[in-house]
Amino acid sequence: MSKLLLALDVGNTTILMGLFNHTRLLRDWRFFTRKEQTSDEIGWLVMSALQSIDVRPERIEGAIISCVVPSLTDRLMEMCTHYLGCAPLVIDPGREEYFPVDYPDPAQIGADRIVNAVAGTEKYGSPLIIIDFGTATTFCAISEEGAFIGGCIVPGIGISSDALFEHAERLTSVTWVRPQCIIAKNTEDAIRSGLLFGYASLVDGIVERMKKEMGVTPSVVATGGWASLIAEEAKCIDRIDPYLTLEGLRIIYEKRVGREKKHKRSQ
């Protein structure tokens, strides 16, 4: 029976977990991120997910973690060691072995952005712009030579809507239904219209400016929870890849294991 890889992409809002058999993604799950979670609570979620598809923890050969919530990193590592019996590989953006980086201080780059860059260039080549629609929306530029050269970060659409409802007393939260037109006839549709079409225009505007500054015509790939919704309206997005971050984790893990095996053979 083949061994499996567990990949964990830990964001500020959700934890995306994927189970790989070599290059094949067998299953994925999403959990809410809670900064006060203990290693046992995370372990319970992971074990319940594996049990739901009849996978015993002994089948997990390795684990890899991308985490942008520093307070959870040690607990995630402890969970992997205790419940899965393996020490996980944790993405450290300060280590340039993962990807060529043209950035003054690589340690400042979010782990998820490096992972996305690895997967994006592996799958789609360069130059490339990667947009990750999560708690924050990140725009990452990959040069024609295949190096991470920077990008920008804006509040995600979820944060933007929460801020609107919190600070505008007469506006209340709305359910997400796609608006039919930009000129709305009631307050709820006006909020939906402003958020969706306004955010799509923001995305198109930033990408246009990035392309001009890069001096090339890169492909534009979108990932993250809001990608499908925004891509319906944004004109700049060439393709959607919902599992880009998980794929990047798998690729990095396989490269690391391959290097270690090569090093052992040379000794």
Domain ranges, ordered by start, for the chain: 4-90, 96-247
Which one of 3.40.50.300, 3.10.129.10, 3.30.565.10, 3.30.420.40 gives the CATH number of domain 96-247? 3.30.420.40
**Residue 106, pLDDT score:** 87
**Residue 265, pLDDT score:** 60
- Share above pLDDT 70 across residues of the chain, in percent, rounded to a whole number: 90
* pLDDT mean over 184-207: 90
The pLDDT confidence band at residue 161, using thresholds 50, 70 and 90, is confident
**Residue 231, pLDDT score:** 93
Domains 4-90 and 96-247 share a fold: yes
For residue 148, what are the contacts with CB-CB under 8 A and spacing of at least 6?
99, 100, 101, 102, 103, 109, 113, 114, 117, 140, 141, 142
Could you read off the pLDDT of 23-44 as tens digits, one per residue? 999 999 999 999 999 999 999 9
Residues that are catalytic: 112
* pLDDT mean over 188-195: 85
The pLDDT confidence band at residue 10, using thresholds 50, 70 and 90, is very high
For domain 4-90, is the CATH number 3.30.465.10?
no
Could you read off the pLDDT of 202-224 as tens digits, one per residue? 999 999 999 999 999 999 999 99
